[in-house]
Amino acid sequence: MVKAPHETVHAISHMSAHKTEYPLISVILLAIMAGGAIAMGDIFWAHATVGVAKNLAPGIANFIGGFAFSAGLMMVVFFGGHLFTSSILSGVSFARKEVNIFNGVISYWTVVWIFNFVGGVMIAYLYYKSGLPMKYNEAILKHFAHLGAVKTHLTFTEAFIRGIFCNVFVCMAIWVAVATEDGAGKIWGIAFLIAAFVASGYEHCVANMFIISEGLLAKAHYLAQFGGDIQQAAAALHIPVEELETFNIKTFLLNNELPVTLGNIVGGLIFVGIVALYSYKKELDN
C-alpha cells in the first residue's frame, strides 16, 4: 500500500516536526550515527567499484556504486538517524506551523550538520587505521585522494547545482520510504533513487564529509611516506602538484561543503518539500 501524495506530505511534516523535539543528546547521537552510516555506504561504494571503471566501463561502475552507497541511507531510515539532507524537510513543518523557525529549523539543522560531520570524520579515521584503504595496491586510498582533490576544485556554481540535484533524489527517497508501507518497497525505492544521484555525480554534503576527510588522510599518508615532498606525493597519487597543494581543510569547507550544503537545502526544501506542500495545499486544508 502506498500513501497518496497529500498524505505523504502530512506524514513527512509530522515526522520532521517530531524529530526536532527529540532531546539534544538523542539528536547528537542519532546525527553521529547518520553521518557514520553514510560514511559506511561510501566505503561499500568504494570497495564495490574498485577496478570496475577501468576494466569494464565507468557507467557500470557508477551503477554498481550507486546501489552500494544506498545501504547508508537504508541504515539511516530504518534506525531513525538524523541526516542533514533529509532533515531539511523540517522546513515543511515550519511552513505548516508545526515548529518555529529557530528551535524547529535553524538550530536543529545546525546540530545535525555538525554531528553528521563528527560521524563522518570518525569513520574516516577508523577506516584509515583499519588498513582497508591500502588494499588492491592502495587503489582505494588513492581514489579518495583524487576524488577529494576534484571535489574541492569545483566552482561554486558547479558544486551548488550538483547539491540541488542530489537532494532532490535524497528527499524523494525519503518520500518513497514514508509513502510506502512495506519494507521491501522502502528498500527498492531508496536503492533506485540514491543510485540515480550517485551514478549521476551529484554532491551530497554529508557523504563529502567522509570522502574528503579520507582524501585528506590519504594526502597526509603520502606526504609522510615521502618525507613531506609534495612533488613525489603528487606523482604517486597522479594529481597535479598545484591541485594537491591547494587540497586542504580550507578548500574542503569553502569550495565544497559551503556550496553543496546550500544546494542541498535548496534541492530538498524548495524542489521537493515546498513544491509538494503547495501542490497539495487544497487536500491538506480539507
The overall average pLDDT reported for the chain is 96
pLDDT at 285: 82
The string of pLDDT tens digits covering residues 216-256 is 999 999 999 999 999 999 999 999 999 999 999 999 999 99
Mean pLDDT of 62-72: 96
Mean pLDDT of 1-17: 93
Does residue 149 or residue 285 have the better pLDDT? 149
The number of C-alpha atoms within 13 Å of 249 and in the hemisphere containing its C-beta is 3
Distances (CA, A) of 82 to 45, 73, 154: 21, 11, 28
Tell how far CA 241 is from the center of its chain: 28
Please identify which residue in the block is written with the cell numbers 550507486: 66
pLDDT at 19: 94
Structure confidence at residue 153 as a pLDDT band (50, 70, 90): very high
Assigned C-alpha cell, 161: 547545482
Tell how far CA 159 is from the center of its chain: 13
The pTM of the full predicted model, rounded to 2 decimals, is: 0.96
pLDDT at 90: 94
pLDDT at 167: 98
Mean pLDDT of 182-198: 96
Q: Is the pLDDT of residue 286 over 80?
A: no
Structure confidence at residue 103 as a pLDDT band (50, 70, 90): confident
pLDDT at 284: 86
**Cα–Cα distance for residue pair 158/162, rounded to 1 Å:** 6
Are 252 and 216 in contact by the 8 Å Cβ rule? The answer is: yes
pLDDT at 126: 98
Are 194 and 70 in contact by the 8 Å Cβ rule? The answer is: yes
pLDDT at 121: 98
Structure confidence at residue 15 as a pLDDT band (50, 70, 90): very high
